[in-house]
Amino acid sequence: MNAPRLFEPIDIGGLKLANRIVIAPMCQYSAVDGRMTDWHLIHLGHLALSGAALLTIEATAVLPEGRISYADVGLWDDATEQAMAETLASVRRHSDMPIAIQLAHAGRKASTDLPWLGGGQIAPGNANGWQTVAPSPYPFADDENAPLALDKAGLARVRDAFADAARRATRIGIDAIQIHGAHGYLLHQFLSPLSNRREDEYGGSLENRMRFPLEVFDAVRQAFPADRPVTMRVSGTDWVAGGWDAEQTIAFAQALEARGCAAIHVSSGGLDPRQQIPVGPSYQVPLARAVKQAVSMPVVAVGLITDPEQAEAIVGTGDADLIALARTILYDPRWPWHAAAQLGARVHAPHQYLRSQPRQYRSLFDIAGSAEN
């Protein structure tokens, strides 16, 4: 029996990963003024024991007004940096899993309530609400407050904030950065002609719409150590006629690769409420496959990947180099263990959990490689 591809190691821009399973960033809406709390220690701590190859911190706002909600994590000042540093120090005492961070700005989709409180946008002037910004002064939904269009000074402030957050990430030992260019947030808003209706050098043609996201990538890449990878998450399509699509995604991916992007994570949607998404198992994999065929950097597939055989097929057939888990690993935090057992692979486990190895999988845990505590 051939060893499963899902559990083969891979190098991402100099960062060595033990397998092809990455934990996608997942917002927790549990921060206080951008600062991580005990919830983040519990959340990240147990995922860091999962046997995946990489743990990605949730969408982390580079400016207060870039938060999706008032309870989002941030990395814009000393207080938010210190809170994150303390959380990561505790996690790392018990796990050697590499940790990445997703740097983000929500743009016009900022200033919302918590999802379990409805998630609606909170207007400026109301408690926990603020004025949003975007490429153009058009809201996500017709009944929402219109964003302010970013002027040149505003663009510079956002770009500089991404770079400053990258420097803070460096200080606290983050292993990789993922820039959030997907799901209808600010950089995606610049990419899509549905949300970007500017008439200057940042709007109109594909080249112009890519300009600001590429400037942000360049700023982050320059601010982060050269031996640590910077990657990008994109939406492969808006799922709306006349919007961002796979062809434009490929052009963007090629431009990123030319600038030193270490990997690209292909998701979809989130920009326009008119989207018609054909949701089903592996529904975004064709988008990842299209990008994979056009670039040489590693490609990450994501979206309703729930079964180990399904994940193995995605990687084994070359549709993508890695798979990302989000809700799947919240539901089953030991999914990598269970996948290794099903596919006949081995996986790292903490010493404290070695006795849990099932009798029928006597070679499941890589005891020699397990994290020491």
The predicted pLDDT at position 2 comes to: 77
Geometric angle at alpha carbon 285, from 280 and 289, rounded to 5°: 155
CA distance 308 to 325: 11
Among residues 29, 185, 202, 353, the one annotated as catalytic is 185
Q: Residue 367 is encoded by which pair of tokens? A: 């005891």
- Please answer whether residues 18 and 340 qualify as being in contact, where contact means their C-beta atoms are separated by less than 8 angstroms: no
Question: Which secondary structure element, helix H or strand E, spans residue 15, and what is its range?
Answer: strand 15-17
The predicted pLDDT at position 15 comes to: 98
CA distance 25 to 268: 15
The predicted pLDDT at position 372 comes to: 45
Q: Which one, of 57, 98, 44, lies nearest residue 333 by Cα?
A: 44
Which 3 state secondary structure label does DSSP give 177? Answer: strand
Domains along the chain?
5-356 (3.20.20.70)
Looking up tokens 């379990």 gives 116
The predicted pLDDT at position 324 comes to: 98
Q: Residue 147 is encoded by which pair of tokens? A: 């964003």
Tens digits of residue pLDDT in 79-116: 999 999 999 999 999 999 999 999 999 999 999 999 99
CA distance 203 to 198: 4
Looking up tokens 């402030």 gives 157
Tell me, what amino acid is at 89?
A
Tell me if the pTM is above 0.75.
yes
Torsion, Cα of 285, 336, 264, 91 (10° steps): 150
128: left (phi over 0), alpha (psi -120 to 50) or beta: left
The predicted pLDDT at position 366 comes to: 83
133-134 and 99-104: which strand pairing?
Answer: unpaired
Residue 263 Cα to chain centre, angstroms: 12
Angle between helices 246-258 and 285-292 (to 10 degrees): 50
361 is catalytic: no
| Residue numbers of the chain with a pLDDT score lower than 50 | 371-373
Torsion, Cα of 23, 24, 30, 32 (10° steps): 110
Burial of 246 (0-12, 13-18, 19+ CB in 10 A): middle
